[in-house]
Structure 1
Amino acid sequence: MSAALQLHSDREQFFARLKPDSSAWLSPNHEWLACMIASWCAGQGVLPDFMGLESGQFSQLKNHLFPGIGIPDQAASGSKPDFSRMLEKDDLINLLKSSSQADIAETDWIIGILVAGSLGSDHLWQDLGLWSRSQLSAMLQYNFPELAAKNTKDMKWKKFLYKQLCEAEGLYLCRVPSCEVCTDYAKCYGSEE
């Protein structure tokens, strides 16, 4: 079995353990968090230890949504986000908090994980360990509906979030910290003809 197939299989196995017996998720966030945790446990994505949350937050997440399931605290991935690039951490947190739908623990967990995933060098959905871009779109629309509604041109989400930060500062030429290493750099910054 190839390494990619093995990671996919491992992710599916972790996900099956996280899925509620009744097949009823507590909220849409519950399923998205399960996808991210399954990928993280299988070594996919770039989320660091505690998935980028404070250890207490991560314990709350596990105990609230996945009680009794042995989820590790440390990342299985060898790839780590580059925290030196996160000069905008507080600004990104404030942007997401001010745009959030509800003030619940899940929102703080989603924000912390999104911020950590923003430090990766791939598309945000991949860095987070989500299984598709549509999952990320749905998660952002659910948790940050007004902010997500501003992405009328279907811009890549990481680029869109950083563009919002730049526009708030009055800057209109803005790049995500990881753009130069992204495999789609030419698509985002290449000729539009």
Structure 2
Amino acid sequence: MPRLQDDRERLYSRLKSQAIATPNHEWLACIVASWCAGASALPDYLGLEPLQFNELVGHFFPGCDVPEQAPSGIRPDFSRMLERDDLVNLLKQYSQAYTFENNCIISIIVAGCLGSDHLWQDLGLWSRGQLSDMLGYNFPGLAAKNDKDMKWKKFLYKQLCEAEGLYLCRAPSCDVCADYAKCYGPED
């Protein structure tokens, strides 16, 4: 594990030095560094379309060799994610601005929802606080609704259920989550 941590931190430093200094670039550098080290649940192309992925890497991390296929071997399986469009629409609804960067963030978050752990871990972020900050920066109205500190993946799915008038909803990975009985509070 220490070697994985060292590799991830070295790559993060390199990616961050290439990135424009804004909050999303820092979070994207964490996500890409973790993904390259095989420490996330993101599929090929970070869950983006190939053209989006290449544009993202070329714009934010020029000169960095970022693989297209998930080093973890995870392949996208959006067929089990019937709610994919609903998640995209939810995030778009609360988006501050619909830009290329924001569109990529939305796609990456939705792809992270395919994972079976906490969303911050599935994305390859290094803490739940980073995810909270990223969501607050990109989707402030949505983040403000999570005023009881519900786990983020559970919270997103709860928002979908409430929009449909359903109030008993399970996140897609609760049955394998070690914290099944704890829907609220810290995840660290």
Note whether the superposition's TM-score is higher than 0.5.
Answer: yes
CA distance in 2, matches of 1:82, 1:33: 22
Q: Are residues 1:6 and 2:3 paired?
A: yes
Indicate the RMSD between aligned Cα atoms, in angstroms.
Answer: 1.5
Q: Which residue of 1 aligns with 2:13?
A: 16
CA distance in 1, matches of 2:76, 2:7: 22
In structure 1, runs of 5+ residues without a counterpart are: none
Q: 1:45 to 1:53 in 2, by over 3 A?
A: same
TM-score, length of structure 1 as denominator length = 0.91
Deviation for aligned residue 1:80: 5.1
Percent identity, aligned pairs only? 70
TM-score, length of structure 2 as denominator length = 0.93
Q: Which residue of 2 aligns with 1:187?
A: 182
Matched-pair contact (CA < 8 Å) for 1:53–1:109: yes
Q: Which residue of 1 aligns with 2:170?
A: 175
The count of corresponding residues between Structure 1 and Structure 2 is 184
Q: Which residue of 1 aligns with 2:137?
A: 142
Larger radius of gyration: 1
CA distance in 2, matches of 1:126, 1:80: 17
Deviation for aligned residue 1:68: 1.1
CA distance in 2, matches of 1:80, 1:121: 14
Give 1:54-73 correspondences, 5 Å limit.
54-73=49-68
Matched-pair contact (CA < 8 Å) for 2:87–2:110: yes
In structure 2, runs of 5+ residues without a counterpart are: none
Q: Are residues 1:45 and 2:40 paired?
A: yes
Q: Which residue of 1 aligns with 2:161?
A: 166
Deviation for aligned residue 1:98: 0.9
Superposed structure 1 runs of 4+ greater than 4 Å apart: 79-82
Matched-pair contact (CA < 8 Å) for 1:85–1:177: no
Q: 1:163 to 1:173 in 2, by over 3 A?
A: same
